[in-house]
Each structure stands twice: as C-alpha cells, then as structure tokens.
Amino acid sequence: MGKIRSVIRKMSIKASFMAYMLGCILIAVFLALFLSNLCQAGQVRICKKYKELIRKHEYKISNVEHGEDGDEIFEFYVDDIGTLEFYAENITSLFTPLEDFLYNVFGFLSIGVYPLCFVFCMGMTSLLFYRRQLKKPLEILDNAADNIAGNNLDFRIVYNRQNELGKLCDSFEKMRGALYDNNVEMWRQIEERKALNAAFAHDLRTPLTVLKGQSEMLIRYAPQMTAEKIAATAEMMQRHIIRLEAYVNTMNQLKRLEDIDVNKALVSIKDVISQMLCTGETVRKEKKLSFSSEISSFVKMNLDMEIIMRVYENLLSNALRFAKENIVVSVKVREDFFYLIVSDDGKGFSEKDLTDAVKPFYKSAKESDGGSFGMGLNICKILCEKHGGSLKLENAQGALVTAVFKQ
C-alpha cells in the first residue's frame, strides 16, 4: 500500500489526468451498459404482460383481418377487458397510454444512457481530479502569494508531491526562503546602520561639547585672556576639529566600502606574498615579523589584490598595536578559497572582543590609543564578505585573525 502511494505521489499531472480519464471511460461504459440493460428489461416486462395475456386467451380469437398495409389484425375477447385488437408484429398496439409512454422512455434511455453516463462521469471525474490533484496545491500557492504580498515571510510552503505542482511549490518555497534571507539581511544592515549612527553620534558628542565650551569661553573672556591662553585654547579646538574631520572621513569611507565593486584578476600567489613582505618590512618598526606559506610559487588565483592588501594592512596594523614582540603572517589555499592568517603574541581577544570587535566604532577595554576609531576589523569584515569570504577572530598564543577570500 505504501509503495502504491509512493508511485501515486511521483506521478506527473499528465499521467494522473490520463489515469483519471481511463477510469472515467471504464466506469462510464459499465454504468451505461448496466442502465441500458435495465431499460431494456423494463420494456421486456411491459411486453411480457401482454404476451402472456395473448397466450392465455389464444383460443378466444374471434376474427382475423388484414390491415391496409397487409398486416394481420387479431381480435380476441378478455373477460376483464373486453374485445382487444392488436397487430401480430406490433404488440405495442395493446399498451395503455401510460405503458406506451414508459415503453418509449425506456427505449430512448436504453440508447441515451451512453452519452448521459459519459457526461456525468466526465463531470464527476473532473471534480474529483480537481479536489485530489489541484485544489490543495492551488490553495497553498494562493495563500503563499497573499503572505508574500503582505510581506509576511515567516511561514513554509509544504506539498509532498513530486509532480509539476509539487515542483512549483518547491520553487515558491525557494523564492520565499530567498526573500526571507534578503529581508533578514536588510534588517540586519538597517540595525547595523542604526548602531553605527548611534556610535557616531555618541563619539561626536565629546568633541562638540569641548568646542562649544571653548568657543563660549573665547567669546566671553577673550579680552581678559592672555595670548598664550588664547593660543592654547585655539590649539585644543583645532585638535578636536581634526578629530571631527577624521570621524566624517571614516563614515564616508565606510559608505564607499559597502558600495565597492570586486574586480578579480588572475594573480600569482608568489606576487601576493612578495607585496605583503614588502609592506610588512616597511611598517613593522621594532616588532619581529615572520611569514609562512603552504602554497607553491606557481599557484595562481582570481583575486582582487587591492581588497586583499587593504585587509592585510588593517590586520597588520592591529597586530602591531597589540603584539609584544612577534607577529606571524601565514597564507594558504583550500579549494577555491585564499586564507590570510595574522597572529600576534599579545594578550589576545576578550570574550566581548570575540563577538563585538567587528562592529563599527568598537573599542576594547585595553585600547588606550585615542586616535583609533575602532573601524579596522569592521572594514576587514566588509571587504572579506564582498570578496565572497569571511573574517574569523580567535585566540591562540595571542590574537589570531583569519581572513578568507573566494576566488
């Protein structure tokens, strides 16, 4: 029974329709034959009454005449009825009006039941086919369309058939899932943008407050202030103005990153490592920088060198800030992905850092550099995702960051 149900579920709409129509034809034929035989039996029953009557009173035939067309006309007498006439070849001449009507109706129906049965069976089969094969998936798709139109994507489309409508429901489910994921991503970006704006507004508040206070002091006390005091106040105001400019530039940079296009080109991994070595030697200062690679010098990949070097420079800058003495950079290739791993021997990430360090304007408790806006890892995350990869933060001997790029 289970195998039969499995076969039925896998049947296409076309095959199901053909099976229903075949069943419809067979049922219509058998039903028509049965009803036709019933009608013919009704006719026989009416005739049988008079045949028996004739046979019973056959000896009372009193006269035989010939009609205009040459048919013999028999005449006999029945006690309850009286004198009867009938044509030898047409016993229907003996029928009463009601019996004549019924006899003709039965005769018509004995033939007419065939088209009637076919029409009836076609109608019932169509209704059954709709209810069994079309009604449920159409209701599911209609309900799904209404939910999607109402921007309600928190539902699932389930129809356990492998026919055309089952595949259509699966396609709708894939579309719903894609729309749901896009909405989730859109809301995530909106929430991140809100958090970014809130962080930006929060960090702007201090320099603006300082500038406001210093400007009010100058307006009120400038005539009584010494030249040195005025110069010192102006210098402080300039520092905060420069800081505000840096904030604005950071925000503009972040917006540009989100709109950046990835331009991949076939590059040699040997050239990538060479550029990283050159950059590292230039900025490492007194820290020790070492490289390791598991890649053959002949390997080439489709990568955006500008994005990779930008991520590398940000990760190296962070490592230089927190490393005690040693920084290790390693690269490797796994299938279609290029891995850049930067580690240091510093204190590593705190639990909060591991979850929040990639957020914009995040500063860890150990950061004392007032010039940092907490954007480095966030920029790296955006660029890695633009390149089809990801950014992962871990702790080893110190902090360890893995940037992944898809070729």
Same-domain check for residues 142 and 186: no
Q: Above pLDDT 90, what percent of the chain?
A: 14
pLDDT at 35: 92
Compute the distance between CA of residue 25 and CA of residue 122 in angstroms, rounded to an integer: 8
Give the bridge partners for 87, in sequence order: 73, 90
Same-domain check for residues 6 and 145: yes
Compute the distance between CA of residue 307 and CA of residue 384 in angstroms, rounded to an integer: 8
pLDDT at 336: 87
pLDDT at 30: 93
Same-domain check for residues 118 and 181: no
pLDDT exceeds 50 at position 63: no
Compute the distance between CA of residue 407 and CA of residue 20 in angstroms, rounded to an integer: 53
Residues 6+ apart with CB under 8 A from 91: 47, 50, 51, 54
Calculate ∠ Cα 208-214-220, nearest 5°: 135
Compute the distance between CA of residue 173 and CA of residue 183 in angstroms, rounded to an integer: 15
Same-domain check for residues 133 and 203: no
Contact between residue 327 and residue 346 where contact means Cβ atoms under 8 Å apart: no
Same-domain check for residues 142 and 14: yes
Compute the distance between CA of residue 134 and CA of residue 137 in angstroms, rounded to an integer: 6
Name the pTM for this structure.
0.47
Which of 79-93, 120-134, 185-199, 381-395 has the weakest average pLDDT?
79-93
pLDDT category at 244 given cuts 50, 70, 90 is confident
pLDDT exceeds 70 at position 323: yes
Contact between residue 405 and residue 384 where contact means Cβ atoms under 8 Å apart: yes
Compute the distance between CA of residue 273 and CA of residue 317 in angstroms, rounded to an integer: 17
pLDDT exceeds 50 at position 59: no
Pairing of strands 300-303, 265-268: antiparallel
pLDDT exceeds 50 at position 171: yes
Pairing of strands 326-334, 288-293: parallel
- Domain final residue pick, 258, 278, 303: 258
Q: Output the CA torsion sign for 7, 10, 12, 13.
A: positive
Compute the distance between CA of residue 22 and CA of residue 361 in angstroms, rounded to an integer: 72
Contact between residue 337 and residue 349 where contact means Cβ atoms under 8 Å apart: no
158 found inside a domain:
no
Contact between residue 327 and residue 313 where contact means Cβ atoms under 8 Å apart: no
Range of the domain at 218: 166-258
Question: Which of 117, 140, 167 is closest to 11 using CA atoms?
Answer: 167
pLDDT at 259: 66
Same-domain check for residues 20 and 52: yes
Question: Which of 54, 87, 58, 92 is closest to 73 using CA atoms?
Answer: 87
Cα Rg, the chain, nearest whole Å: 48
Q: What DSSP assignment string belongs to 328-397? A: EEEEEEETTEEEEEEEESS----HHHHHHTTSTT---TT---TT--S-HHHHHHHHHHHTT-EEEEEESS
pLDDT at 3: 58
Q: For 67-92, how does the pLDDT look when each residue is reduced to its tens digit (9 = 90+)?
A: 444 444 455 444 555 555 554 446 67
The larger pLDDT score, comparing residue 209 to residue 20, is at: 20
Helix axes 13-56, 97-129, angle to 10 degrees: 170
Compute the distance between CA of residue 336 and CA of residue 144 in angstroms, rounded to an integer: 37
pLDDT category at 37 given cuts 50, 70, 90 is very high
pLDDT at 90: 60
pLDDT exceeds 80 at position 66: no
The 3-state DSSP class for residue 53 equals: helix
Contact between residue 319 and residue 344 where contact means Cβ atoms under 8 Å apart: yes
Residues 6+ apart with CB under 8 A from 199: 360, 361
Question: Which of 338, 342, 332 is closest to 289 using CA atoms?
Answer: 342
In the chain, the amino acid numbered 328 is: V
Q: For 93-138, how does the pLDDT look when each residue is reduced to its tens digit (9 = 90+)?
A: 667 788 888 888 988 988 999 999 999 999 999 999 988 888 888 8
157 found inside a domain:
no
Mean pLDDT in residue range 34-49: 87
pLDDT at 372: 54
pLDDT category at 253 given cuts 50, 70, 90 is low
- Domain final residue pick, 205, 235, 258: 258
Same-domain check for residues 95 and 55: yes
Contact between residue 206 and residue 243 where contact means Cβ atoms under 8 Å apart: no
Same-domain check for residues 29 and 142: yes
Same-domain check for residues 196 and 294: no
Question: Which of 88, 89, 30, 31 is closest to 61 using CA atoms?
Answer: 88
20 found inside a domain:
yes
Give the bridge partners for 82, in sequence order: 78
Same-domain check for residues 127 and 185: no
66 found inside a domain:
yes
Same-domain check for residues 202 and 303: no
Instruction: Give the alpha-carbon dihedral of 146, 149, 155, 161, to 10 degrees.
Output: 60
Same-domain check for residues 301 and 335: yes
339 found inside a domain:
yes
- Per the structure, how many domains does the chain have? 3
pLDDT at 379: 81
